[in-house]
Structure 1
């Protein structure tokens, strides 16, 4: 009996957009590849589900959603006589599909603890180059667009700019799964208003209010969701757990972990030694490895690792205070003294339980302006074209300072 061929022109049902079609067999095969399937096991929003219980969606959801929106964008631009060949369109779909493939477990936490000196964008590029070998060079144009090296500048703007396809999906998707209505932008309307002028991605004047809402939504989502103080506390705690595990591994202390996580704990991984073998092991590392290890570390003999792991497992997070100006040395020393006296935390372990940081949010960057195409065919920065909002005010970065320290527990 002959082997039945797989139908590669599948349709997926997405909670945000409804039915999403996979445009061709090459993209189907890329999605089926283990590198891409790993994204099913990497959450889009890290530890945010400790604040917003519905925020369990994955990088896989986001990537598929981005591919769908890119199909719409290509369709819209073609109706406005912007020539995009089939080869170019396909490259755009692949570039946006793979733009986040280099994110590690729990996204940014891994970049600040286990893998150092190499950003997820670089790892994404390494994955794309490896997939290009697997698929006989069919990803070359997508890589060129992703790196911003393709002759048509607006292609890269669709992938990475202040109003790119990535942001149009994640704001709408994260708003849906968190239930935070302020982030619910009209991505359809914005895409419908897209045009190209002088090789730049622009928005027609009719879409100005949708863009204004997008900028405001992004600002609100950052303060209300991405930089929510409890989310910050949880993410910081996760980083500290991984840093402690890495320190213990360096001192040859045995830690229960999957073989994949074990490799990253016991080998110093930097930009310089991130080999093909490292990439292959990284492609098997996901949230499950980290969560399973943390559950085991709750009972580890190292009291620091055990306490940190317990805090995140049972959601007994660090207290966090946020303010508009840096904490003074006096404020810092007062908390230090209290922790040492009341909670008996040793000096050498203090930095795991008490630490300072800062976060900033810039709703609009005037150095990379969103251009509005006026009815007279002129291009205007939205900050100047907007008659309702003072977007120039929103272009000033807002910086907030935080300090984390434990609630009540004893270190024996």
Structure 2
């Protein structure tokens, strides 16, 4: 029997808190799960610093990847025998679903910003490079690894396959909304996935939703909207991310300073600091390693690095106020000057952070990131874009919400020795509304 058709002697199952069970029957999928590059995802948290806000959010990219695989497995099981569905794409869909997050690094988004990395690039490098994952995929068929990479990169020729893991209603989102809601303990991310899976229909270039399932999709869209503002953009989580980013930035600056010597050479970070990260170095770095260095750096001679690492490790986060630098430039410049005069480096201790989200969008030709809208399949066979049929979705379609906050260490403000300077800083900060504690 060909490797791509080989089945396990007995179906394997993973007990899952969201989907109850994740079912694995294909030898290829079982081998991919066992690959070291996939096992590494156990050591990468799904939500980065969110566990400092919601203490239950300790789940990993490994959990999520299995969940996305399971949802796609169920979707294509429902598609069997339907028009427009090519059953020969089954294994490709399952592999792409399982491996779609393979390239995420520790504290993904903060790391990417500081070191100018792209997890999607590294996902492709793992799939196509000299890795166990690549060897498994190439055993399926010559060029199969490239097809998996193309699906994840959204360049694969069969757009229906791509839409299963990358669209405005895909397996990726359906898993992380429910999984993140479960582990954070909030109620916002729950929706009737069973109903949505039942009313999904394959079309030539995307999955569409039978019109009778519109209300379940409305619930899904609103769940996503609530999760972004109540969980993903939570200001306390953002405070932790601000400090994390500043630690990495400070460590990089110190490394580039030829007069500074770390007590222990940051071996795992060298290629990141030098801007020439290869795949081998990338795969060695996980959140356990990063946390180890943060522990060590609390003892560094550099006061800024030491202080920031202590704050992050012991959860002494920055406080914050609502603050839009585009509208409050004069206040921003004055605060910057006063912090400098007080000996508090504003590059590390006075940080504006902005969050924005577009919960649902219709098709806008020519935009840099074209979003394929969700279509409803009407009784007469017509496809109708969701926001044209749903007043709820229409009310938030195309509306980008942005939030700005200013983060700062209130304990250092309170310790300012110049009373007039301290009074003026507090006047500016308090003038923008109540100073909120990151607790």
- Verify same fold: TM over 0.5: yes
8 Å contact from structure 2 (residues 349, 409) kept in 1 = yes
Equivalents in 2 of 1:231, 1:281: separation in Å? 28
Q: How far does residue 185 in structure 1 lie from its aligned partner after superposition?
A: 1.9
Partner of 2:292: 292
CA contact (8 A) 1:324 1:399 kept: no
Moved more, 316-325 or 360-369: 316-325
Between 391-400 and 296-305, the greater mean CA deviation after superposition: 391-400
1:134 aligns to 2:138 (yes or no): no
Per-residue displacement from partner, 1:147-172 (whole Å, max 9, x unpaired)? Answer: 33433211111121111110010000
Change in 2 beyond 3 A, CA 1:324/1:249? closer
**Separation in 1, partners of 2:13, 2:265:** 35
The correspondence of residues 140-151 of structure 1 with structure 2, limited to 5 A, is 140-151=146-157
What per-residue deviation string (whole Å, max 9, x for no partner) do you get for residues 93-140 of structure 1?
111111111111011111011x32x31111111111124642234434
| CA distance in structure 2 between the partners assigned to 1:375 and 1:326 by the alignment | 49
Instruction: Provide the rounded CA distance (Å) in 1 between the counterparts of 2:281 and 2:335.
Output: 41
Q: 2:318, 2:409 within 8 Å by CA — same for their partners in 1?
A: yes
Q: Does the alignment pair 1:67 with 2:45? A: no
| Kept after mapping to 1: 8 A contact 2:242/2:351 | no
How well do the aligned residues superpose, as a CA RMSD in angstroms?
2.3
Aligned to 1:402: 405
Unaligned runs of 5+ in 2: 1-7, 364-371, 418-439
Contact 1:47 / 1:231 at 8 angstroms: preserved in 2?
yes
Task: Report the TM-score, using the length of structure 2 for normalisation.
Answer: 0.84
Pick the aligned partner of 1:250 from 226, 250, 256: 256
Match of residue 122 from structure 2: 123
Q: Give the number of equivalent residue pairs.
A: 392
2:126/2:134 contact within 8 Å kept: no
**SS of residue matched to 1:320:** strand
Q: Distance in 2 between matches of 1:109 and 1:7?
A: 43
TM-score by length of 1: 0.89
Following TM superposition, by how much is the alpha carbon of 1:177 offset from its aligned partner in structure 2, in angstroms?
0.4
SS of equivalent residue, structure 1 residue 316: coil
Q: Structure 1: any 5+ residue segments left out of the alignment?
A: 1-5
CA contact (8 A) 2:323 2:406 kept: no
Partner residue of 1:234 out of 236, 240, 254: 240
Is the Cα contact below 8 Å between 1:103 and 1:124 reproduced in 2? yes
**Contact map agreement 2:218 2:393 (CA 8 A) in 1:** no
- The CA deviation at 1:263 is 2.7
Alignment of 1:10-159 (within 5 A): 10-78=12-80, 80-85=82-87, 87-113=88-114, 115-116=115-116, 118-130=117-129, 131=131, 133-135=134-136, 136=138, 137=142, 138-159=144-165
Cross-structure match for 2:222? 216
Q: Cα distance 1:249–1:382, how it changes in 2: closer, same or farther (>3 A)?
A: same
Q: Is the 8 A contact 2:358 2:399 kept in 1?
A: yes
8 Å Cα contact 1:260/1:289 also seen in 2 = no
Q: Is the Cα contact below 8 Å between 1:27 and 1:94 reproduced in 2?
A: yes
1:323, distance to aligned residue in structure 2 (A): 4.9
Q: Tell me by how many angstroms 1:254 deviates.
A: 3.4
Asked if 1:380 corresponds to 2:381, the answer is no
Q: d(CA) in 1 for partners of 2:416 and 2:38? A: 42
CA contact (8 A) 2:200 2:210 kept: yes
**TM superposition shift of 1:144:** 3.2
CA contact 2:195–2:216 (8 Å) conserved in 1? yes
1:261 alignment counterpart: 268
C-alpha deviation, 1:46, in angstroms: 0.6
| 1:183 maps onto 2:189 in alignment | yes
Distance in 1 (alpha carbons) for counterparts of 2:355 and 2:273: 30
Q: Which moved more, 1:308-317 or 1:60-69?
A: 308-317
Alignment of 1:283-322 (within 5 A): 283-322=283-322
Moved more, 320-329 or 289-298: 320-329
Q: Which residue of 2 aligns with 1:3?
A: none
Q: Distance in 1 between matches of 2:390 and 2:253?
A: 52
Aligned mates of 1:100, 1:22 — CA distance in 2: 19
Instruction: For residue 264 of structure 1, report the CA deviation from its aligned partner.
Output: 3.4
2:243 aligns to what SS in structure 1? Answer: helix
Question: The residue matched to 1:111 in structure 2 has which SS?
Answer: helix
Q: Deviations over 1:20-71 (max 9, x none)?
A: 1123111111111111111000000010011100000000000000000000
